[in-house]
Structure 1
Amino acid sequence: MFELAWPWIFLLLPLPWVLRWLLPAADSGDAALKVSFLGELESLAGRRAAVALPAWRQQLPYLVVWLLLLFAAARPQWLGEPLPLPTSGRDLLLAVDVSGSMDYPDMQWQGDEVSRLELVKHLLGDFILERRGDRVGLILFGSKAYLQAPLTFDRQTVRTWLDEAVIGIAGGNTAIGDAIGLAVKRLRERPAESRVLVLITDGANNGGEIEPLLAARLAAREGIKIHTIGIGADAEAGGVLQRFGFNTGAELDEPTLRAIAEQTGGEYFRARSSNELEAIGATLDQLEPVAQQPTQARVADALYVWPLSAALLISLMLVANNLWHAALPRLFRRRKQP
């Protein structure tokens, strides 16, 4: 279906004539000679003078150019058939811990030992791309919590921001309460049934200004469901650091994470390996979608380039014609010189 997005542009149609009427006539500065006996001069010269075109015919090409420019400015477009947008989905925020402990290489990915954050990037990235119909956002937290990506349907960009996250970008501590508080601020204006936060951490809260359980109560009051994921291998898993006597899983505060999930109606998951983390993603995929107001969209193909190109072509032809007529008398004068 053809449509003009800005048809009110045609109100500018009389603008050139209004300006001509308001502004004073231009003075070329050349003397003008008016001859009352033009017919006698023509007979003596043996030829007739060129007959001037009527004023309306002289202005016609410029009128066409002006109409084409207005038509292009009105944004002509061809609208396709209405396509339904997703009518169900969630507002899903992901809060990922990027504190120093997430750099521990105690996880396995395709036979190689990788850090906890690298494993989260591999598996959570695919989880993000599969959230068709959901608005997905990303919070990175360490000593402070920062909104890295607001809620958006552009899942690929959210995954890119996750892939570019680095250890320590938000500080070396773990502010779980601040991350939940920031999520509450971003989700509280969304429909109550669709507010979901997935929080991933490997430690206990040792930073920030809000206690995790207090932030969880605020989230529960706003109807935000929080799913918590504790990541990190057990001491007996035999990772690189465990071989030297370090228990990298000892810092994980499972009771607090479990209490956060219970207070908000979510679930707590323990991810000790890539298989467990992948299974957690599959479980989260089973969340029931919430019906939202159905909407439709039409694909619009812009057509302004055609009238704009026609106006440019006619303008170039007018310029070429004026240059030719201006150069023609000079050419004849050069030929008559001895």
Structure 2
Amino acid sequence: MISISWPWFLLLLPLPFLFGRAQHAQVEGGRLQLPGISQTGKTSFSTHSPRTRKRYWLMWCLLVLAICRPQWVGEPIELPSQGRDLMVAVDLSGSMQIEDMVIEGQVVDRFTLIQHVVSDFIERRKGDRIGLILFADHAYLQAPLTQDRRSVAQFLKEAQIGLVGKQTAIGEAIALAVKRFEKMDESNRVLILLTDGSNNAGNIDPVQAAEIAANRKVTIYTVGVGAEVMERRTLFGRERVNPSVDLDEKQLNHIAELTNGRYFRARNSQELEQIYQAIDKLEPVSRDQLSYRPQADLFYWPLALALLTSLWIALGQLPLFSRASSKLASPRENMR
């Protein structure tokens, strides 16, 4: 159906008629002098031909219709009434740029793998509310809990390593998520924390933050990112090293256990995707049924027609076109 957002602008439709009447009102002994209104008869609206006056009226009506903001309103679409509340915390410390992960046979850094897998994870969360926290030296809320999965995925895509520092403030990320969940009465309260290191920044201890999260019924799924073995070239040839030596798996596992969550070791994309199955097992929480009606603005159609009408009027004022139109009109008048 078509609706008009500002119908009161339709009151402007008779304005040119009233203006023309006032401009050409006559009294005995001369014209009625109205301040601010030209008294030159040559530019009077009434001096135009009836055909030109109709074009002016058409253009004015189209402009008023465009100002009224017509819209097309679709049928109501119900939003999912059940879902989960998931906050995703992503580590942006300097070590996330280590290239020890593989996507489709191509070696990439850890953050690229997280972007690839987590973006797909966000896309699958239909009906869930997703939030995004980025942390390094400190933790920052990049996106609050929302069902707009596309925007959250875009925020993650635009994030860059080192954007909020070089270190790792795991405790602050947990505390920030707990704070955001406090506003939710009925919620699963799930935090997915992805990191490749240990807590070495911030003023909050991760274990203490996890204990607070457990008291607030927040479940934390921790994910340790990074390969266990990586080859690198040296002056003496190739050597095998452990690029995840800084990863504190013991602490991450302890945080998950305190909150009745799970710890995942993500050495590759397949292991990182295991978190899908664990999240899908959570019981969705019922919410109030919400709906929305898609809308599309239509004002540009009457606006475009008004522009074409103005060009039509302008062409009619040219001598060449005016003579041609008079010749076309003369046979009709003779027939009458």
Please report the TM-score for the alignment, with normalisation by the length of structure 1.
0.73
Q: Equivalent residue for 1:9?
A: 9
- Match of 1:171, SS? coil
Q: Do the aligned partners of 1:107 and 1:239 also contact (CA within 8 Å) in 2?
A: no
Judge which range, 246-255 or 92-101, deviates more. 246-255
Q: Which residue, out of 98, 121, 127, partners 1:104? A: 98
Residues in 2 aligned to 1:297 and 1:170: alpha-carbon distance in whole angstroms = 36
Provide the secondary structure at the position in 1 that maps to 2:190: strand
Aligned pair in 2 of structure 1 residues 146, 67: CA closer, same or farther (>3 Å)?
Answer: same
Alignment pair present for 1:80 and 2:80 = no
Q: Work out the CA distance in 2 between the residues paired with 1:241 and 1:289.
A: 46
* Distance in 1 (alpha carbons) for counterparts of 2:48 and 2:161: 78
Query: Could you tell me which residue of structure 2 aligns to residue 34 of structure 1?
Result: none
Question: Following TM superposition, by how much is the alpha carbon of 1:142 offset from its aligned partner in structure 2, in angstroms?
Answer: 1.3
- Greater shift in the superposed pair: 303-312 or 1-10: 303-312
Displacement of 1:241 after TM fit? 6.0
Whose radius of gyration is greater, 1 or 2? 1
2:36 aligned partner: 24
Query: In structure 2, what is the equivalent of residue 262 of structure 1?
Result: 257
The aligned counterpart of 1:240 is 231
The letter for the 1-side match of 2:269 is: S
Shift of 1:200: 0.7
Deviation, 1:108, is 4.1
2:167 match: secondary structure: coil
Aligned amino acid, residue 140 of structure 1: L
Determine the C-alpha separation between the residues in 2 that align with 1:309 and 1:271.
56
Write the mapping of 1:270-289 to structure 2, written as runs, cut at 5 A.
Answer: 270-289=265-284
- Aligned partner letter, 1:260: I
CA contact (8 A) 1:193 1:223 kept: no
User: Where do 5+ consecutive residues of structure 1 fail to align?
Assistant: 31-51, 329-338
Deviation at 1:97, TM superposition (A): 1.2
Whole-Å separation in 1 of the counterparts to 2:321 and 2:274: 81
CA distance in 2, matches of 1:220, 1:317: 72
Q: Distance in 2 between matches of 1:117 and 1:204?
A: 16
Please tell me the residue identity of whatever aligns with 1:68.
L
Q: Look up the equivalent residue of 1:291 and give its one-letter code.
A: S
TM-score by length of 2: 0.74
Instruction: Give the one of 276, 292, 298 matched to 1:297.
Output: 292
Work out the CA distance in 2 between the residues paired with 1:223 and 1:155. Answer: 24
C-alpha contact 1:106 1:241 (8 A) present in aligned 2: no
Equivalent runs, 1:163-242 vs 2, <5 Å: 163-234=157-228, 238-240=229-231
| Per-residue CA distance 1:25-63 (angstroms, 9 max, x = gap) | 214499xxxxxxxxxxxxxxxxxxxxx789999865544
| Structure 2 residue runs without a partner (length 5+) | 23-33, 324-336
CA shift, 1:168, in A, is 2.7
Q: Match for 2:248 among 233, 253, 258?
A: 253
TM-align CA RMSD: 3.6
Secondary structure of the corresponding residue to residue 193 of structure 1? coil
**One-letter amino acid matched to 2:255:** I
Do 2:186 and 2:285's aligned partners in 1 also have CA atoms closer than 8 Å?
A: no
Which string of whole-angstrom CA distances, capped at 9 and with x for unpartnered residues, describes residues 181-227 of structure 1?
33234443344414322101122111012222333344345443322
Of residues 299, 303, 306, the one that matches 2:301 is: 306
State the distance in 1 between where 2:101 and 2:49 align.
Answer: 84
Give 1:247 shift: 4.0
Conserved? CA contact 1:203–1:251, under 8 Å: yes
**Matched pairs, number:** 304
Q: Is the 8 A contact 2:92 2:134 kept in 1?
A: yes
